[in-house]
Amino acid sequence: MTTSGKLAGRHALVTGAGSGIGTTIAKALAAEGAHVSLAGRRREPLDAVAAEIGATAFVVDGFDVTSPEAVAQGLAKAREKFGPVDILVNNAGEAPSAPFEKTSLEAWNHVLTVDLTGVFLVTQAVLPDLKARGVGARIINIASTAGLKGYGYVSAYVAAKHGVVGLTRSLALELAKTGMTVNAVCPGFTDTPIIQRSIETIVAKTGRTAAQALAEFTKSNPQGRLIKPEEVADTVLWLASPAAASINGQAIAVAGGEI
């Protein structure tokens, strides 16, 4: 990967970097010259991503966003390798589905802890670095169109992502005078391994074809397709760039016109 580019010399921390959107974002940031700390719980997928990026990537495994201790330990390793973080991408999350009346308190708490409290914990831990950087520092939260509207059978996920959007807007106002920006990117259904596994589950449980199962995910997109991870990453790159200095407190839908 290049050591030049519009993000050269910057240190980006990407949570959930071992697969899907997180991997694509990490590669895009590295391609623009950023040093990227790849944060996630499992080392093997992170190592694979790091091998593709090269020397400008660093693996921070055991990074459980629900554990303040794990976050602190992982952040210390990232700082030791690349210095203070000045671009934070909160991407880690889970999206299990169940009817509301069959959603247990345990499941509800788990989703909110991972998808919302995790953003809180990581952001609070990284905030001293970002405030020291000031102008040019970025917090970019990967939310979802589920943070902007409702979907059936994913009530905990919808609640958590609405919380992420609300937190984004609050922090943007609170931190505006520091020169950093805080924004959310809200993808629609995106072509990731999670969606592919969901399609397989629908096929196995209902007997529908893969094409029929896919249609369940594309019908809400006016363009009639899944979003590409690269489209999400391109939005993150723009928000991380100097060109987006006045973009603050926004929840940007990458959804083909769904919102």
- Does 157 participate in catalysis according to the annotation? yes
- Give pLDDT, residue 173: 98
Contact 28, 6 (CB under 8 A): no
Are both 18 and 43 inside the same structural domain?
yes
Go through 19-44 and write b for each residue having 16 or more CB atoms within 10 A of its CB, e for each that does not.
bbbbbbbbbbbbbbbbbbbbbbbeee
Q: Which of 239, 244, 198 is nearest to 91 (CA)?
A: 239
Which alpha helices (H) appear in the chain, and where do they start and end? 20-31, 43-53, 68-82, 105-112, 118-133, 155-175, 193-206, 210-218, 229-240
Are both 135 and 210 inside the same structural domain?
no
* 31-58 per-position pLDDT tens digit: 999 999 999 999 999 999 999 999 999 9
* 141-174 per-position pLDDT tens digit: 999 999 999 999 999 999 999 999 999 999 999 9
- Give pLDDT, residue 2: 56
In percent, the amount of the chain with pLDDT more than 70 equals: 99
* 3-20 per-position pLDDT tens digit: 679 999 999 999 999 999
Tell me, yes or no, whether 89 lies in a domain. yes
Contact 211, 38 (CB under 8 A): no
- Give pLDDT, residue 194: 83
Lowest mean pLDDT among 65-69, 198-202, 248-252: 198-202
Tokens at 61, concatenated: 């495994």
Are both 85 and 156 inside the same structural domain?
yes
Q: What angle do CA 119, 254, 239 make, to 5 degrees?
A: 60
Q: Which domain holds residue 213?
A: 191-226
Are both 156 and 62 inside the same structural domain?
yes
pTM to 2 decimals? 0.95
Are both 222 and 232 inside the same structural domain?
no
Residue 189 confidence (pLDDT) above 70? yes
The confidence band for 259, taking pLDDT boundaries of 50, 70 and 90, is: confident
* Mean of per-residue pLDDT scores for the chain: 96
In percent, the amount of the chain with pLDDT more than 90 equals: 92
Are both 82 and 203 inside the same structural domain?
no
Of 196 and 227, the structure prediction assigns the larger pLDDT to 227
- Give pLDDT, residue 3: 63
- Give pLDDT, residue 201: 85
- Give pLDDT, residue 82: 98
The confidence band for 115, taking pLDDT boundaries of 50, 70 and 90, is: very high
The CATH code of the domain that includes 108 is 3.40.50.720
* 215-231 per-position pLDDT tens digit: 989 999 999 999 999 99
The confidence band for 205, taking pLDDT boundaries of 50, 70 and 90, is: confident
Active-site residue, from 157, 202, 226, 248? 157
Q: What are the beta bridge partners of residue 185?
A: 142, 252
Overall domain count for the chain: 2
Residue 178 confidence (pLDDT) above 60? yes
Are both 60 and 146 inside the same structural domain?
yes
What average pLDDT does the segment 81-106 reach?
Answer: 96
Are both 199 and 245 inside the same structural domain?
no
Q: Which of 25, 66, 32, 81 is nearest to 49 (CA)?
A: 25
